[in-house]
Structure 1
Amino acid sequence: MSSQAQSVLVVEDEQSIASFVSLYLKNAGYGVRAVGTGAGALNAVAAEMPSLIVLDLNLPDMDGIEICRRIRKSSDVPILMLTARDEDVDKIIGLEVGADDYLTKPFNPRELVARVKSVLRRATSDRRIDEGDEIRHGDLVINSGRREVLVGDDEIQLAPKEFDLLWELLDHRGIVLTRDQLLERVWGYTFAGDTRTVDVHVRQIRRKLGDASPIVTVWGVGYKVATERSTAPAA
């Protein structure tokens, strides 16, 4: 799908930021609608689902986390979250409830456009994973068609990018993938993205999978899944 056929909903209460973000996105060929409140965002999503949402974390009537949580109940629309606070806890919470990526203010609008393109390219491209493909690793089972993760008989709820990251690592068992490689493979970045995005997602996967987590850190270089499940994951 071309950018001309795609729409972006900008949810930002600071008019100056909303205006220049909208301008850059329009110049990149996207249809843009901007709203300044959480209620306005939910109404816009209900009226006509956009291709992607740029969502500010701090809004006058509703927290961006809550907006993201409500949207995720009915839709997997890509969400790029904006935050003025450079705190890991904000990013962890945002990614945990289903945001696909984040940017910390102040940011370069060209980087925002590049990230929007990458997220949309990943979301709308033909999936490299065949429907119904399944990977088993000990008690862990991940099914691509149903986007389902099981540990034994228990289903584990993962955010969209957490699922994609886990699949990528499991699909390359025994191979070390650097953070930059994972950014490119999972998020589609072809520029120097923030590798902390990968670390935050890995932490969330480990927390949710607990002892069943197969992800191993390799000397700070990157991550891998051991070929044998008997190898315990790093703490």
Structure 2
Amino acid sequence: MYRVLMIEDDAMIGDMVTMYLKEEGFHVIREENGTSGIAAISQFQPDLILLDWVLPDMDGLAICRQVRETSSVPIMIVSMKNKIVERVNALGAGADDFMCKPFSMHELIARAHALIRRAQRYPSMNQLPDAQSRHQEQEEVKPAKSTVIAAVMDKQDKITLNTNTRSMCVYGEIVETTYSEFEIMRCFINNPGRVYSREDLLQTVRGFDSFVTDRAIDVHIANLRKKIEDNPKEPKWIRTVWGVGYKFVHM
């Protein structure tokens, strides 16, 4: 039984979503504010977080950023906000999906299953151990052989990607990435020097993000620069090719 943590202060919406998810076999708990919601993560160890943007005590995006410091649990933001820039901001904060209120319960459930399925298929090194143990108990799977690709910079492996665990290391330290950031970084490392247009990168990540746009690609690139560059404002590795897109260079 998959666990869903809903952080939602609207009782009517919370009760309705809880009822539908329980009917689909999910174990659901609801917290009404960000403080109790964050506290519940370590105790409940959810497989998915449904997060309202506007909460009584905290901004939903601030919660999203805080969760992303320690966990890669899938996060779906559910909000009345529906502008593209707001969706992009949610993506930049680390959300995996975004749904606008009002929404179809059938679509919500389908997206919930999809997010959990992807998280199981591509587990993070920082995945909560109890959640992973539950998944392993459901089905004994022989671990695949790890495949590591690396970009040599400054005469050493600065960036390594493990395609089995879908984890990225920068100078030996694990750095959390979203699904799309990992896919973009894998393209870059496998094809150094190749210029990728935004459309190329959109095609690369489509199917991982439910809302990808040219602007979202720019957000992914900005986030990756923060994670791998010594000075993100003057990037050495992920270069902008003006009028075309981006390319990755290494020593």
- 1:2-151 paired onto structure 2 within 5 Å: 5-125=1-121, 131-136=146-151, 141-144=159-162, 147-148=167-168, 150=170
Given residue 58 of structure 2, which amino acid in structure 1 is its aligned partner?
Answer: M
Q: 2:206 is matched with which residue? A: 183
Structure 1 217/30 Cα, relative in aligned 2: closer, same or farther at 3 Å?
farther
Structure 1 179/7 Cα, relative in aligned 2: closer, same or farther at 3 Å?
same
TM-score by length of 1: 0.70
- Measure how far apart 1:6 and its partner are: 0.9
Give the number of equivalent residue pairs: 211
- 1:203 matched to 2:210? The reply is no
Q: Does the CA contact (< 8 Å) of 1:9 and 1:32 recur in 2?
A: yes
- Measure how far apart 1:88 and its partner are: 3.3
Question: Which consecutive unaligned segments of at least 5 residues does structure 2 have?
Answer: 124-142, 226-231
Pick aligned residue for 1:213 from 215, 230, 238: 238
Given residue 149 of structure 2, which amino acid in structure 1 is its aligned partner?
Answer: E
- Measure how far apart 1:14 and its partner are: 1.2
TM-score by length of 2: 0.66
Question: Which consecutive unaligned segments of at least 5 residues does structure 1 have?
Answer: 188-192, 231-235
- Measure how far apart 1:125 and its partner are: 1.9
Q: 2:187 is matched with which residue? A: 169
Q: Does the CA contact (< 8 Å) of 1:138 and 1:229 recur in 2?
A: no
Given residue 143 of structure 1, which amino acid in structure 2 is its aligned partner?
Answer: L
- Measure how far apart 1:81 and its partner are: 0.9
2:86 and 2:174 map into 1 onto residues whose CA distance is 22
Given residue 147 of structure 1, which amino acid in structure 2 is its aligned partner?
Answer: S
Identity %, equivalent residues: 26
1:217 and 1:21 map into 2 onto residues whose CA distance is 45
Q: Secondary structure at the match of 1:107?
A: coil
Q: 1:233 is matched with which residue? A: none
Given residue 182 of structure 2, which amino acid in structure 1 is its aligned partner?
Answer: D
- Measure how far apart 1:106 and its partner are: 2.2
CA-to-aligned-CA distance 1:7-30 (integer Å, 9 cap, x gap): 001111112211222122222211
- Measure how far apart 1:181 and its partner are: 6.5
Q: Does the CA contact (< 8 Å) of 1:147 and 1:163 recur in 2?
A: no
2:216 and 2:243 map into 1 onto residues whose CA distance is 16
More off after superposition, 101-110 vs 29-38: 101-110
Q: Secondary structure at the match of 1:98?
A: coil
